[in-house]
Structure formats: structure tokens, C-alpha cells
Amino acid sequence: MVNRSLIIANQHYDDPAYPELPGAARDAAELQAVLADPDIAGFEVQVLRDGTAAQCRKAIETFFRGATGDDLLLLHISCHGQKDLHNRLYLVGTDTEKAYVASTGIDSTFISDQIEGSRSNKTVLMLDCCYSGAFSRGLRTRSAAESVDVREPFSGRGRVVITASTALQFSHESEAMSRAAAEPSVFTSAVVLGLRSGAADLDGDGWISIDDLYGYVHETVRRRAPNQTPTRSVASVQGALYLARNVAARPQHVPGDIREALRSKLPWQRIGALHELENLLGSWRPEVRDAARADLTALVSDPDPAVAKLAKQLWFSRGLGELPVEDERNLSRQPSVDRLRTRHAVGIDFGTTNSAIAVFVDDDVRVVLSAIGDRTMPSVAAVTENGNWIVGEEARRRATINPANTFSRVKLALGTEKRFRAFGRTYTPVGVAATILAELRSAAERFLGSTVRDVVITIPAHFDLIQREATVEAAALAGLNVMRLLNEPTAAALAYGANTETDQTLMVFDLGGGTLDVSVLEIGEGVVEVRASGGDNRLGGVDWDDRLVDHAVARFRGQHGIDLSTDQTAMARLREAAERAKIELSSRMSTEIVLPTICVGPDGPLDMELHITRAEFEELTRDLIDRCRTLIQRAVTDAYLTTAQLQQIALVGGATRMPAIVGLVEEITGRPPRREVIPDGVVLGATIQAGILRGHFKDTLLLDVSAATLGVADVNGRIVPIIERNTTAPTKRSMNFTTVVDDQRHIQVQLFEGESRLASRNRKVGVLELGGLTPQPRGAADIEVTVEMDVNRLVHMKVTDLESARTVHTSITLQSARAHEAARVNPAHAIVERPTDESESS
Ligand code: AMP
């Protein structure tokens, strides 16, 4: 299959009645350059400049006659167009005489006949000529006829005909600049620009289809020359027709032969390409995986149901999130510039206590204000009796009056069996998280005035597989597609200006409302590698609040003999007051907790009044600081470093504002920490990452490490590690196993996540079964188990019987992990590590 193009550009004319078209020559040169560019379109391009009518006819004839069935042919003609009295369209060669156009011009039906007579089913005809487009029946024309449609000469099979203007408009001539400043005409320059910049990739799939290009050109021309309307006169090509690659979207990461197969009109070739894509999705290079994913997106909506079905299966088996929504794809085909506006880079920091969403606009990151004007929104959702949701600040306030129906700390519950209950209904953590994410999404949509779909979401570096899956699932329920799950510390490092120029070792200490993340990052040669990530997802600012609450409750009990801890309303008020006091103690040496009528005692209402100093508060929370110290030291050790080797310590998370934390970090590392981006650091970084994926920034390659070991249980219930903790993701590792009993025909491979060498102490995340093994003595079979962790650290497993080359594979999903956790294992189907060849011979 070849992409071939013929460009005809007639600028000079013998007949003075045809004025010069100064843009035509440059049109041809620019279009030739962009079409021939192998990184963009890779066409074989032939150009005819200032051809006579006979030369033009000859060139067109030869062009179409030589075509094979698979060729994609693009004929672009830039010249005067003229109609005769019967509304028949002629294109003008240099020797065409205006008074005898029918005998000296190039008849449009001649071109149509050449297309019809060629073998190609994929022809694009672009006419940058006056009168070349369709015009509606009934409109008055310059000709005598009232109801003629110039689409007629062009109609036929396997083609798309796009014209610069409608019949009633001029194209070249109407563009003042085209004549006066000798610039390329509006239409062709829009074609060139759309292809060259990639801006014509309206659906953002990385490819510029003819539909994309037409949509883009239509809008661009209408904006620059409001009286000129490009028209798609005919569109009879089966399936999508891709002209070029979006250079801005990604470098060329899918090999040329696969790309060709992807565009093949034969479904079986596209299915073949699908299998190749499967391999590319497992590449260790994120850019290759992204490219393969973009191509898979196109196949998911393939016109052939069998191809689309297989593509969908691959999509789901790879855990690529929710499928692109049909409506969205239809929307993307509409020639609308609005569509471009929906492709903002959006980042979400989904926090335990507070969340934030930010967008990349005007070359900067803007944190979207919540409905009530705050930079963050409490990650709290309340449900009303009739099942309506209230989210954010209002829900947080309701916690005081309505604690039982108000759900907070939802992020900590993700991936657990915890259920939220209210009014006899039960809600999953994923469902509640989705309502919070949906609220963030709405805030961003209000801000942008357009839909938001693709986002980067941050997660704690130590989130396990199930928690990561749960995050993706919650996002999908909120109508969001997760482009990347980004480690919070990596996001923070980006926000603190991690760039491709400066190499450094950096610690990110992120103490939020409910989680502590301590990570050591090494940035070198444009790679940000999380050398180690630790922390505690049960340690956060609320623990400091709780200490104040406990202290106040104990005092109150001492003073009044009343236990407030059983009074939900009193406790909710007290928690709020304790948090306020904690925050005040970050900038003051003492504060009060004052709560009038906290309860009613035997002698009437009782108030709470508690004075507390910073020193007392720090004493109450000393053990929490000690836990932070231990976790910092552990992370440094895990990274095989000493604290002295840390060049920078970056603080993020609202609770790092506490002076005791700043003091602790200084004490351990001997350096003052960086604090400039508290508390927006994480959402800022998420949005920068989204900006990188959207091509707004030069790419900074971010490599994250696995948070926990992934291994397979052997016959003795021991774990054989496959991907060790702190391995850089994405990664793919294989190990060989074998059978444990003679004539074993069936194996069960169980994947666990966790650090214990005993399977029973780790979390089972997936099981794969393979039957039909050839009966042979135990230890003879050679079973390869491949575990792959993608860039989002989601996991896929493959088991292959190397003898028969039969393979089963699965993606670990929330459901699969849950289903397998308690599943009973048949000991007769166990496996054991296969000795390597060296150990066999030794
Ligand atoms: P984040 O999850 O990063 O928004 O952090 C929220 C936590 O930071 C909550 O526990 C807040 O109480 C706490 N926080 C916010 N501001 C301060 C402050 N000035 N001093 C101490 N803690 C704070």
C-alpha cells in the first residue's frame, strides 16, 4: 500500500482574463513538504506547476491509472475554476481560454471518470478552486439554471471530495491576502497547518483522518474568511481514512508495517495489527505503550464488529480503564473547534481530607476554585434521605449535625471491604469516591465551559494494586478516563520544578489529612525515579486532631464526669474545633477550644473550654512525630542512601505546616525543607503531568517504582517473587515453573502482593488456570509466568506452557482480586519454581 499524491498548482495564465493566483505556487510547495514528510504523512508526492490543460489531464490520468487497490490517493488542485452556462465545472490550465472554457478547460467529469476508473477505493480530491463546491438546489446562481448541484460530476465510489468554497463563493480570489500579499490561499494553508502542527487531530487519537482534517479546515477557513465555506461534497469511502500522524501527539512509536496494517481495509489485517499492538502495550517504553493505546482506541470503534470486539477485549484485559464513550467519539467527528477546547490538561489530587482539581490554561496551571471559592474541596460526601448527594464543604459541615450519613476519609477505604451505610442503603468506597471526583469534574467543567474527561490522578506511592484499581474504577464511574495514575511524591517533585536539566536526590515528605508519604526520588538525565516510597496510609493530620480531641474528652470527663465520646454530635463539633486549634498552633504559641453547650449535664448545659499551648500539643503528639522519624529513616534506607545524601527535602500536604514537622525534617537532614508549594503541590504536579501527556511541555519521563512485591505461591505456600518491591515500573518479568506431581495436567498460578515470604500473609490478587498439559513426569513441564506492571502500576499476568505455546492471560482488576482472595486452591494443581539450566547441571 502506498500513499501517493498529485498536486496541481496553476499560478500563471495565458489569458489575461484569468488573473494570477499568487498563492498557488507556495501552496504546492508547502503542501508537498508536509505530505512528503515521513514523520507526518509519508506520501509519494508529484507536483505539476503551471500546467496546460492537456498536461494536467495527462498527469491526472497517469496518476489514477497506476493505482493499486490499496493505494491512498490524494489529488490536490489549486487553480481557477469556472462554470459554463449549464453549471458544468471546469478547472483552468495555463492555456485555457475563458471564452472557450468548455473546449480548453479541464472538465470536472473527466476527473471524476479517472477516479472511477482507477483501482483505488481511497481517493481524496481537494479542490482549491472557485465554484468547486456543492451549492444547494434552489439558490440563485450566476448561471441561467436554478437548480443544479455541482456535486453531481464528482459523485462515485471510494472517494472524499473536499472543496475550498461553495459554488456561490470564490476561494482564492476572495482571500485578500492571497492576492495582495502573495500568501497561500486560506484553504490550502489551513490544510498545511492542520497537518503540519497536528492541530487537525480533532479526536486526539494521534492520527489525522480525512474527517478530522475536514473539520479542522472548515472551522479554520470560516474563522479567517467568514464568507468562505469549505464543503465536503462527496464522502463514499468505507471506514476511516487516515492521512497523517499528529506530530504533536507523540513520536512515531508504532512501527510502520503495523500502522499500515491498522489502516488496511481488510479486517483480518487489522486483527493482525491488534495482536502486534498487544505486544506494544507491554513495551517498557511508556511512549510506545501510549502510542499503542491510541491506536487501540481507534480499533475499538472499528466498523467491523469482529475487530471492534477483539479490540475491546484487549482494552479490558489490559485494564486500560473505561472505553472512550461513543457520544464523545461522535462529537469528535463534528467539525467543531469547541471540541479542541475539551482537550485540556487536567490534574486531580484526590486527598483523604481535601481534594483539588487544576487545569492547564494560558501556559500555566490554574487551581479550580470549588463551588464556594476554596482552592481545595473537602473529600466528604453526605447522602440525604431521598438518596441525593451533597459533596464538599457543605457535606463537611453536615458532619456536625448529621455524622451518620456523612462519609469522609473515603480514599483510605478504597480497595477495602468497608461499606458506608445510610438510610438503610449501602455504598461502596468506590461509589462514594466517584461522587467526590464527579464534583471536582463539575467544578472544572464550570471553569472551562467544556467537558472534562481525560485526567491525571495522583495516588499515594504506597497504594497497593487493589487501591490503584479502585481509584481507576471510581474515576470511570465519575465519567473520567485516567490517563495516568501518578505517584503523589512524583507530582510534588514536578511541582517543585523537577526538570530534565538538574540531577538531584530529593525527599518528598507529604503529610496530608489522612496519609503520610515519604519518598526518595532520584532525578537524573530527565528521568524521575522513585527510589523508594514508604509512609503510612493511616497517619495524617487527623491523628493530630484526634490527640487534641482525646485530650479534651479526658479533661471534660475529669471536670464533669461525662464521657463525650459516645455523643456523635458533640464529637463531630469537637473534631472540627480540634482541627482549627491545630491549625492555629502552627502560627501561634497557644489557643483555645471553646464549644458552648457541648452537652447537657444533670445541672443543665455544659460548655467546653480548653486552653492549650503549642508545647503541650507537641507533647501530646510526640509519638506521632517519632513515627514520622522512623518512616523517614526507613525510606532513606530503602533507597540505599544516608540522610546526608538528600539534596533537598520538599514538603507537601497541609499538615506539614506544623512547626514540629519542619523541625523534625531539619533535625534529621540538617537542611531547611522547601515549602513553597504547600498545599497545592500535588495537584500542580498532576496537572503538569497531564500537560506533558497533552504535549504542552517537553516530555519528562517519569518512572515510578512498585510499592510491594508481586510473587507467585509455590506448592509449599511460599512466595516466589517475580517483581520485587521498588522495581521501576513499567516492567515485565518472567519466571519458569513446573508441575509437582506426575502426569499433572492442570496448574493454578496464584499471584500475591506483599512482603511476606509466606503466601498466606500476603494479599491474593489474581489466579490463572491452565489445563490440558501433556502428561509427563513431575518437574518436566516448562511453564513461563510473566507478570507485567504498566505505567500506572496496574498488573497483568500471563501463563504460557512453553511446550504447547498455549497461553492464558489476565489483568488484575478489583473484581478479580476480590473474587480470588478467598478462593480455595487445589493442591494437586500447584506449581514449583523450575530450576534453571545451570542449577540443573550443577
Ligand atoms: P491535605 O490533605 O494536604 O489537604 O492536608 C490536610 C491536612 O492539613 C488537614 O489535617 C489539615 O488540618 C492540615 N492543615 C492544613 N493547614 C494546616 C496548618 N496551617 N497547620 C497544621 N495543619 C494544617
pLDDT tens digits, 471-507: 998 998 898 988 889 888 889 988 887 766 677 899 9
Catalytic choice (411, 582, 764, 798): 411
Can 755 be counted among the known catalytic residues? Answer: no
Of 498 and 115, more confident: 115
> How far is residue 328's CA from residue 37's CA, in Å, rounded to a whole number?
31
Question: Average pLDDT, whole number, for the chain?
Answer: 82
Cβ–Cβ contacts within 10 Å for residue 460, how many?
Answer: 27
User: How many angstroms is it from 312 CA to the middle of ligand 1?
Assistant: 43
Strand partners, 519: 508, 533
Is the pLDDT at 703 greater than 80? The verdict is no
Catalytic choice (107, 290, 349, 543): 349
What is the predicted pLDDT for the residue at 35? Answer: 93
Angle between helix axes 465-477 and 814-821 (nearest 10 degrees) is 130
Cβ atoms of residues 151 and 134 within 8 Å: yes
User: What mean pLDDT do residues 758-767 have?
Assistant: 87
Residue minimizing CA distance to atom 20 of ligand 1: 583
Q: In the block, which residue shows the cell 469516591? A: 433
Question: Which residue among 658, 661, 678 is best mutated to probe the pocket of ligand 1, counting the most ligand atoms within 8 A of its Cβ?
Answer: 658
Is the pLDDT at 94 greater than 90? The verdict is yes
Do β-strands 345-349 and 454-459 pair in parallel, antiparallel, or remain unpaired?
parallel
What is the predicted pLDDT for the residue at 340? Answer: 34
User: How many angstroms is it from 580 CA to the middle of ligand 1?
Assistant: 10
Of 315 and 395, more confident: 395
Of 356 and 277, more confident: 356
Confidence grade of residue 571 (pLDDT, cut at 50, 70, 90): very high
Of 336 and 510, more confident: 510
Is the pLDDT at 618 greater than 80? The verdict is yes
Is the pLDDT at 717 greater than 80? The verdict is yes
Cβ atoms of residues 435 and 422 within 8 Å: no
User: What mean pLDDT do residues 428-433 have?
Assistant: 94
User: What mean pLDDT do residues 270-285 have?
Assistant: 76
DSSP 3-state of 185: coil
Of 477 and 701, more confident: 477
Let me know how long the chain is: 842
DSSP 3-state of 138: coil
Residue minimizing CA distance to atom 15 of ligand 1: 654
Can 488 be counted among the known catalytic residues? Answer: yes
Of 452-466, 614-628, 828-842, the least confident:
828-842
User: What mean pLDDT do residues 705-710 have?
Assistant: 80
| Ligand 1 proximal residues by C-beta, below 6 Å | 351-354, 376, 512-513, 541-542, 579, 582-583, 586, 653-655, 657-658, 679
Is the pLDDT at 825 greater than 70? The verdict is no
pLDDT tens digits, 301-344: 777 777 888 888 787 777 676 665 443 333 333 323 333 334 68
User: How many angstroms is it from 353 CA to the middle of ligand 1?
Assistant: 9
Q: What is the DSSP string of 215-266?
A: HHHHHHHHHH-TT---EEEEE--SS--EEEE-TTT----S-HHHHHHHH-SS
Residue 755 carries which side chain, given as an amino acid letter? E
Is the pLDDT at 684 greater than 70? The verdict is yes
User: How many angstroms is it from 655 CA to the middle of ligand 1?
Assistant: 4
User: What mean pLDDT do residues 296-302 have?
Assistant: 81
Residue minimizing CA distance to atom 7 of ligand 1: 513
Can 349 be counted among the known catalytic residues? Answer: yes
What is the predicted pLDDT for the residue at 168? Answer: 52
User: What mean pLDDT do residues 219-242 have?
Assistant: 78
Cβ atoms of residues 403 and 568 within 8 Å: yes
Catalytic choice (50, 219, 469, 510): 510
User: How many angstroms is it from 200 CA to the middle of ligand 1?
Assistant: 44
Can 576 be counted among the known catalytic residues? Answer: no
The three cell numbers locating residue 20: 494570477
Of 813 and 549, more confident: 549
User: How many angstroms is it from 454 CA to the middle of ligand 1?
Assistant: 28
Question: Which residue among 349, 352, 354, 652 is best mutated to probe the pocket of ligand 1, counting the most ligand atoms within 8 A of its Cβ?
Answer: 354
What is the predicted pLDDT for the residue at 20? Answer: 82
What is the predicted pLDDT for the residue at 500? Answer: 60
CATH superfamily of 710-834: Substrate Binding Domain Of DNAk; Chain A, domain 1 (2.60.34.10)
User: What mean pLDDT do residues 668-685 have?
Assistant: 87
Backbone angles phi, psi at 59, to 5 degrees: -65, -40
CB-based burial, 287-321: b 16+ in 10 Å, e otherwise: ebbbbbbbbbbbbbbbebeebbebbbebbeebbbb
Please give the number of the atom of ligand 1 that sits closest to the Cα of 541: 10
Overall fold of domain 3-245 = Rossmann fold (3.40.50)
Q: How is the chain split into domains, by residue range?
A: 3-245, 256-317, 710-834
User: What mean pLDDT do residues 170-183 have?
Assistant: 42
> How far is residue 10's CA from residue 23's CA, in Å, rounded to a whole number?
10
What is the predicted pLDDT for the residue at 772? Answer: 86
Residue minimizing CA distance to atom 1 of ligand 1: 512
> How far is residue 552's CA from residue 563's CA, in Å, rounded to a whole number?
11
pLDDT tens digits, 443-473: 998 888 788 888 999 998 778 888 988 999 8
